[in-house]
């Protein structure tokens, strides 16, 4: 039998590695920013076009590379971060695998300009699909400029899987946030399609958070500080009243590296237990410093997952530190049983002079006078005799006529438009309903009964109404006497701008939309004024998860979010009129069998099914 195992060519191996390292343009941004930080830069610029599909460029003022290093940096497993296997367990740098640049160069057009401080001129490299096209000396400032164009140009299938420019830009922004928050001492600039998005000067952690997420974020932050022999915790958590529906502002950094850890996230959530609702999520920016030898960051190609030696200890310390911070800064409500509030002097009376009490005497007071109030006679209504009741109708014959011929009376015929169920009559004539466990509405039909989930039924009714308003653009807006001002991060404002047209057709009215705040002067009739902030938070969270590609998907997401937020919830008591109206509105919908989230709305039980229960 002939030998069938062979070594893959380098360009094929690089493309396979690119499948692990480069998932989307945001992956390239992450690798290039981390390389710039490892190069000792204090000023980093990020430039992107068309969501990173056309251009990703990172410029830094780091140590740069020599001509030999520039050529070797694009070879597989070529790195300056480690020299032996033991170094993997004592890492203090970002990139160390030596696959990032080789993988990027295999699937894009790459141009590199770099120069060290000691060299007089730098070097320019042009690479297309792992092939070096050109290498020339060039005059360039100290540092490195790496330009990535036409990502996945030689893998059309991978390029077709990329999302829209807005979605890819959002992922790039998330990666930029993670790197910028971990390194506040580095100056960052971010440009998208020629416009400046972020200009972050050198600062501390708190100022960097405020510069990214808006000036009003400062009042939401509660500092967390704890230092032990095992772990050093620093950073901030948001106050419980600012918890959101989305999980956007949640960041863990271990040794200045962003990580994802559901286990540590649970520790934070458990510390907020009892302070926030179960469906809300707290925000946090937590920086953990641990011994590099006690963690393993080489368990995933993206290096966002870390394995700890003793997770249980970290869990307990983190939970305790957050609880201590919440109590120390009077975030947790508390009662002081040692202080008597009756002995406290009100603020308005502190500067007043004590007045001498005066005694007054009533000279007309007579202790022997009879001042007992006279009893008032309460009329007693007794049952009267029913004798002579027929006299009440005397004379009515002359008013209405003595005789009435009903032979010519005609009745309106009820229009029958069709059957809701198979061989079942319509339900719009139902006059009696019953609510069960504040969750289900039961009504009768000819063959039995219908059990309806009230929340899902209301979701379907609201969903079709909102979708119709967006399509027809005839929604009614309720103008507010005092406009509502809400603060959001720049990324959230970008999402609101994307869906602004859909919100306007629903009845929202925006006075101003700035970089970190919006002012709303009108809301749809079905949206309570007190829930506008919650509705927009939920809308932003759902929009980030679904990432629509066209206007219909955008309208669908907006309608689903509003119907889910505003629908009647399980546990709400409905009166008989509301129950009947909900039943009628449900069966007037185009699709009344399933909810907008593809769940059944009702079930039917025929008379035979009920009879079988008694056998």
Domains and CATH numbers, the chain: 10-200 (3.30.565.10), 205-328 (3.30.230.10), 433-602 (3.30.1370.100)
Bridge partners of residue 594, in order along the sequence: 600
pLDDT at 609: 87
Edge-to-edge strand list for the sheet holding 43-49: 131-138, 122-128, 109-115, 143-149, 55-60, 43-49, 187-192, 195-200
In 3D, which of 25, 97, 17 has the Cα closest to residue 58?
25
557 in Cβ contact with 546 (< 8 Å): yes
Own/partner pairs, 438-446, CB within 8 angstroms, 24+ separation: 438/570, 438/571, 438/572, 438/573, 439/570, 439/571, 441/574, 441/579, 441/582, 441/583, 443/579, 443/583, 445/421, 445/604
Bridge partners of residue 306, in order along the sequence: none
Look at the block and give the residue holding tokens 């004798």. 387
Separation in Å, CA 532 to CA 278, 482, 508, 570: 19, 13, 10, 21
pLDDT at 215: 80
What does residue 29 show for φ and ψ, rounded to 5 degrees?
A: -60, -45
Look at the block and give the residue holding tokens 């590609």. 549
Q: Report angle CA 215, 181, 259 to the nearest 5 degrees.
A: 135
CA–CA distance, 23 with 58 (Å, rounded to integer):
18
Structure tokens at 433: 């309903």
pLDDT at 569: 87
pTM of this structure: 0.72
Pair type for strands 284-289 and 250-254: parallel
> Per-10-residue mean pLDDT for the chain, 615 residues long?
76 69 88 90 94 94 90 80 62 67 89 92 91 91 94 85 85 92 94 91 93 86 91 92 81 90 92 85 92 75 75 91 85 55 57 74 76 49 48 49 49 46 46 84 86 93 87 78 84 83 85 84 85 84 67 77 87 88 90 90 88 84
In 3D, which of 110, 113, 93 has the Cα closest to residue 101?
110
pLDDT at 224: 93
Separation in Å, CA 130 to CA 13, 57, 137, 275: 11, 18, 20, 54
Structure tokens at 539: 């809308």
CB neighbour burial string for 486-501, b if at least 16 within 10 angstroms, e if fewer: ebbbbbbbbbbebbee
- Helix (H) / strand (E) element for 36: namely helix 25-38
pLDDT at 342: 56
pLDDT at 456: 93
């Amino acid at each position: 039998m002939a030998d069938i195992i062979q070594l893959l060519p380098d360009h094929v191996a690089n493309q396979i590695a690119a499948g692990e390292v480069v998932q989307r343009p945001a992956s390239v941004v992450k690798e290039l920013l981390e390389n710039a930080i490892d190069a000792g830069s204090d000023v980093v610029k990020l430039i992107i076009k068309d969501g990173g599909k056309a251009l990703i460029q990172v410029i830094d003022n780091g140590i740069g590379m020599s001509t030999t290093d520039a050529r070797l940096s694009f070879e597989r497993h070529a790195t300056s971060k480690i020299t032996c296997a033991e170094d993997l367990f004592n890492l203090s740098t970002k990139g160390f695998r030596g696959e990032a640049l080789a993988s990027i160069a295999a699937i894009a057009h790459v141009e590199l300009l770099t120069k060290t401080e000691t060299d007089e001129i730098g070097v320019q490299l042009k690479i297309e699909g792992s092939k070096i096209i050109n290498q020339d000396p060039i005059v360039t400032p100290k540092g490195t400029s790496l330009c990535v164009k036409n990502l996945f140009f030689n893998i059309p299938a991978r390029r077709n899987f990329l999302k829209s420019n807005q979605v890819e830009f959002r992922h790039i922004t998330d990666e930029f946030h993670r790197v910028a928050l971990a390194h506040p001492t580095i100056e960052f600039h971010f440009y998208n399609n020629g416009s400046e998005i972020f200009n972050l000067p050198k600062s501390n952690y708190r100022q960097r958070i405020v510069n990214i997420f808006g000036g009003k974020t400062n009042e939401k932050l509660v500092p967390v500080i704890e230092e032990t022999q095992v772990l050093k915790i620093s950073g901030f958590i948001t106050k419980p009243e600012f918890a959101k529906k989305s999980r956007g502002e949640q960041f863990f950094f271990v040794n200045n590296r962003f990580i994802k850890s559901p286990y540590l996230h649970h520790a934070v959530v458990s510390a907020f237990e009892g302070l926030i609702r179960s469906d809300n999520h707290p925000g946090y920016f937590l920086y953990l410093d641990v011994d590099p030898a006690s963690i393993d960051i080489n368990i995933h190609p993206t290096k966002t997952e870390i394995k700890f030696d003793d997770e249980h200890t970290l869990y307990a310390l983190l939970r305790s530190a957050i609880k201590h911070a919440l109590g120390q800064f009077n975030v947790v409500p508390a009662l002081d049983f040692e202080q008597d509030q009756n002995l406290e002097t009100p603020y308005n009376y502190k500067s007043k002079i004590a007045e001498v009490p005066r005694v007054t005497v009533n000279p007309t007071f007579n202790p022997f006078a009879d001042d007992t109030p006279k009893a008032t006679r309460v009329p007693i209504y007794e049952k009267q005799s029913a004798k002579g009741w027929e006299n009440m109708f005397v004379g009515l014959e002359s008013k209405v006529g003595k005789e009435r011929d009903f032979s010519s009376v005609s009745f309106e015929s009820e229009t029958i438009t069709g059957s809701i169920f198979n061989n079942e009559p319509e339900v719009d004539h139902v006059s009696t309903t019953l609510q069960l466990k504040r969750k289900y509405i039961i009504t009768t039909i000819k063959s039995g009964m219908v059990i309806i989930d009230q929340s899902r039924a209301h979701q379907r009714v609201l969903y079709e109404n909102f979708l119709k308003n967006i399509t027809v653009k005839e929604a009614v807006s309720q103008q507010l006497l005092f406009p509502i001002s809400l603060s959001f991060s720049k990324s959230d404002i970008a999402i609101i701008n994307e869906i602004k047209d859909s919100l306007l057709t629903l009845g929202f009215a925006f006075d101003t939309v700035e970089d970190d705040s919006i002012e709303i002067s009108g809301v749809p009739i079905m949206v309570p004024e007190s829930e506008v902030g919650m509705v927009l938070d939920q809308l932003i969270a759902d929009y980030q998860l679904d990432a629509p590609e066209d206007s219909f998907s955008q309208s669908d997401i907006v309608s689903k979010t509003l119907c889910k937020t505003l629908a009647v919830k399980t546990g709400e008591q409905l009166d008989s009129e509301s129950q009947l109206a909900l039943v009628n509105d449900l069966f007037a919908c185009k699709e009344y069998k399933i909810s907008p989230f593809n769940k059944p709305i009702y079930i039917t039980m025929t008379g035979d099914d009920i009879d079988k229960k008694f056998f």
